[in-house]
Amino acid sequence: MSAVLLTDETKLRLMRESDIAAVVGIETRSYDFPWSDAIFSDCLRVGYCCWVVEQGASVCGYGIMSVAAQESHILNICIAPEARRLGAARMLMLNLLELAANHHARISFLEVRPSNSAAIRLYESLGFRRVGTRKGYYPAKSGREDALVMSTPLDDVDRISVRLNVLA
């Protein structure tokens, strides 16, 4: 797949069981300690918000989010290496935040590796702020890596909609 800035062929849709092989392929190319196909299947089975980014007929990214008790938790978001820095992650994040607000979540949380500066910049540009640290949260080649805990309020749905309209 050649990298092309978001086009009419780029779309978001609900993840299907048949997408899991492509999703695991992206996950495996992106992380030293990837989620398994069983984890993605379980996310679908329990009803998490599971979305994919499609460029043409190819899945080039995905996002998984849980929503409960007026909180959302973005559990995993990843864009294929060849499709990064083209706006797909922003589009996917904004979709997840809008879905969370529509499910009456008042706040959204996520964890991110401190070493993932590109993701941190994206999250901060979307209104996320650092609220804590989880010590030794992630496996790493040299032991464990902390996670930054970030959150953003979702009580202003209009604010999220304005951000979505910027993409349109």
CATH number at residue 133: 3.40.630.30
| Boundaries of domain holding 91 | 10-167
- Residue 3 placed within a domain: no
Question: What are the C-alpha distances in Å from 65 to residues 36, 114, 168?
Answer: 17, 20, 23
Q: Is residue 2 part of a domain?
A: no
Position 162 confidence tier, pLDDT thresholds 50, 70, 90 = very low
Single out the residue of 45, 152, 154 nearest to residue 99, CA to CA: 154
Residue 4 lies in a domain: no
The answer to the question of residue 1 being in a domain is no
CA nearest to 116, candidates 84, 83, 155: 84
Residue 109 inside a domain? The answer is yes
- Which residue among 111, 137, 138, 145 is the active-site one? 111
> Does the residue 47 lie in any domain?
yes
- Look up 31 and say whether it is catalytic: no
Q: Which of 27, 48, 62, 123 is catalytic?
A: 123
> Rounded CA gap, 75 and 166, in Å?
25
Name which of 86-90, 132-136, 159-163 the model is least confident about.
159-163
The pLDDT, as a whole number, for residue 166 is 43
Higher-scoring residue by pLDDT: 46, 161: 46
Non-local (6+) Cβ contacts of 15 within 8 A are: 23, 40, 44, 50, 51, 52, 62
Number of domains in the chain: 1
- The answer to whether residue 17 sits within a structural domain is yes
pTM, two decimals, is: 0.87
The yes-or-no verdict on residue 136 having pLDDT over 70 is yes
**Percentage of the residues of the chain whose pLDDT score is greater than 90:** 77
The question of whether 111 is a catalytic residue gets the answer yes
Q: Is residue 158 part of a domain?
A: yes
